[in-house]
Chain A
Amino acid sequence: MKTSSSVAQLWPQISAALPASEDQFLLLFSDTVESSVLDLLKRSRRHLYSQTSNSSLSLNAQIVLDYSWEKLNTGTWRDVDKEWRRVYSYGCLFKVAALCRGGPSEDELRQAIRTCDMGLLMGAAIMDNILQVIVGILQSQFKKSCEDGDDQGQPEVKRMKTECPLVPVIREELAVPRVKCPSLESFKTNYLLPLKPVVLEGVIDHWPALNQHPWSIDYLRSVAGCRTVPVEVGSRYTDEEWSQTLLTVDEFIDRFISNEAKGLGYLAQHQLFDQIPELKEDIRFPDYCCLGEDDEDHITVNAWFGPGGTVSPLHQDPQQNFLAQVMTPQQHLCQFQTSSRHEHVELANQVEVESPDTQRFPEFSKAPYLECVLQPGDVLFIPVQHWHYIRSLELSFSVSFWWS
Chain B
Amino acid sequence: MRWFGFGFNAFEQICVHGKVTEDAGSDVKVTCPTELKSHVETSSCCLKKPGEIRASWSRRASLHLDGDSCVCLAGFVTATSVESCGVSGPKTCGCTDAVISEYHLTLTFPGRVEVWDIQKKESTPKWSMEINTQSDHTLKLPLVPGGYITNKPPFYHSLSPCLKAKSLALGAEHALLLCVTGDVYTWGLGSHGQLGHGGLTSEEEPRAVEALCGMPMSSVATGGWHSVCISAGGDLYVWGWNESGQLGLPSQGVRKALQQNQHTQQGNLGQEVKSSEEELQEVEKLKEFFISIQAFPALLDVTPSCEIKAVSCGSRHTAAVTTTGDLYTWGWGEYGQLGHQTLMSSDEPQRVEFFKEQQLRVVEVVCGTWNTFAAAIKEELSCS
Give me the interface of A with B, judged by CB distance under 8 Å: 34-36, 39-40, 53, 55-56, 59-60, 63, 66-67, 70, 73-76
- The contact of B102 among A34, A56, A60, A75, by CB within 8 Å, is A34
Residues of the A chain whose Cβ atoms lie less than 8 Å from the Cβ of B10: 40, 60, 63
Are B172 and A34 closer than 8 Å at their CB atoms?
no
- B interface vs A, CB < 8 Å? 10-11, 22, 24-25, 28, 57-59, 76, 78, 102-103, 119, 172-173, 189, 191, 224-225, 315-316, 334, 370
Chain B residues with CB under 8 A of A76: 189, 191
A306 to B89, CA, bound (A): 59
What B residues does A60 contact at CB under 8 A? 10
A74 (CB) vs chain B CBs: closest residue: B172
A63 to B58 CA separation, bound complex (whole angstroms): 11
- Residues of chain A within 8 A (CB-CB) of B78 are 35
Q: Which of B11, B22, B191 contacts A36 (CB 8 A)?
A: B11
Q: Indicate if the CB atoms of A34 and B25 lie closer than 8 Å.
A: no
Chain B residues with Cβ below 8 Å from A35 are 76, 78, 119
Cβ contacts under 8 Å, B370 to chain A: 66
Number of A-B contacts (CB under 8 A): 42
The smallest C-beta distance from B263 to any residue of chain A, in angstroms, reads 13
Q: How far is the CA of A34 from the CA of B152 in the complex (A)?
A: 13
Q: Is B11 a contact of A59 with CB atoms below 8 Å?
A: no
CB distance from B195 to the nearest CB of A (A): 14
B224–A74 contact, CB under 8 A? yes
Q: What is the CA–CA distance of A75 and B190 in the complex, to the nearest angstrom?
A: 9
Residues of A within 8 A of B172 (CB): 70, 74
Majority SS of interface residues in chain A?
helix
Closest to B202 in A: A76
| Among candidates A39, A56, A75, residue contacting B24 with C-beta atoms closer than 8 Å | A56
A75 touches B76 (CB 8 A): no
Tell whether, in the assembled complex, residue B57 and residue A59 are in contact, meaning their CB atoms are under 8 Å apart.
Answer: no
Partner of A75 from the list B57, B189, B315, B334 (CB cut-off 8 Å) is B189
Residue of A34, A39, A63, A74 near B28 (CB, 8 A) is: A63
Contacts of A70 in B (CB 8 A): 172, 224, 315-316
Q: Is the CB of A55 within 8 A of B191?
A: no
Q: Across the interface, do B224 and A59 meet the contact criterion of CB distance under 8 Å?
A: no
Identity of the chain B residue whose Cβ is nearest the Cβ of A243 in the assembled complex: B292
22 intermolecular pairs with C-beta atoms under 8 Å apart: A34-B102, A34-B103, A36-B58, A36-B59, A36-B76, A39-B76, A55-B25, A56-B24, A59-B25, A63-B10, A63-B28, A67-B57, A70-B172, A70-B224, A70-B315, A73-B224, A73-B225, A74-B172, A74-B173, A74-B224, A76-B189, A76-B191
Q: What's the minimum C-beta distance from A276 to chain B, rounded to whole angstroms? A: 25
Report how far A300 CA is from B17 CA in the complex, Å: 50
- Cα of A73 to Cα of B173 in the assembled complex, Å: 10
> What's the minimum C-beta distance from B314 to chain A, rounded to whole angstroms?
11
* Bound-complex Cα distance A67 to B189 (A): 20
A75 near B119 with CB under 8 A, answer: no
A108 CB → nearest B CB, Å:
15
| Contact call A36/B28, Cβ cutoff below 8 A | no
Check B58 against A75 for contact (C-beta < 8 Å).
no
- Known contacts A39-B76, A76-B191; is A34 also within 8 Å of B173 by CB? no
Q: How far is the CA of A35 from the CA of B101 in the complex (A)?
A: 12
CA distance A40 to B76 in the complex (A): 10
Residues of B contacting A39 in the complex (Cβ-Cβ under 8 angstroms) = 76
Cα separation A56 to B23 with both chains bound (whole Å):
9
A63: B residues at CB distance < 8 A:
10, 28
Q: Compute how far the CA of A155 lies from the CA of B22 in the bound complex, rounded to whole angstroms.
A: 43
**What's the Cα separation between A222 and B119 when bound, in Å?**
50
| Distance to closest chain A CB from B334 (angstroms) | 7
Contact partners of B119 in chain A: CB under 8 A: 34-35
Set of chain B residues within 8 Å of A67, measured between Cβ atoms: 57
CB pair B24 A55 closer than 8 Å: yes
Give Cα A53–Cα B76 distance, bound, in whole angstroms. Answer: 23
Given A63-B10, A70-B172; A53-B224 close (CB under 8 Å): no
Residue of A nearest to B243 (CB): A73
Smallest CB separation, A251 vs chain B (Å): 10
Given contacts A35-B78, A36-B57, A67-B57, contact A59 B173 (CB under 8 A): no
What is the minimal beta-carbon distance from B291 to any residue of chain A, in angstroms?
Answer: 14
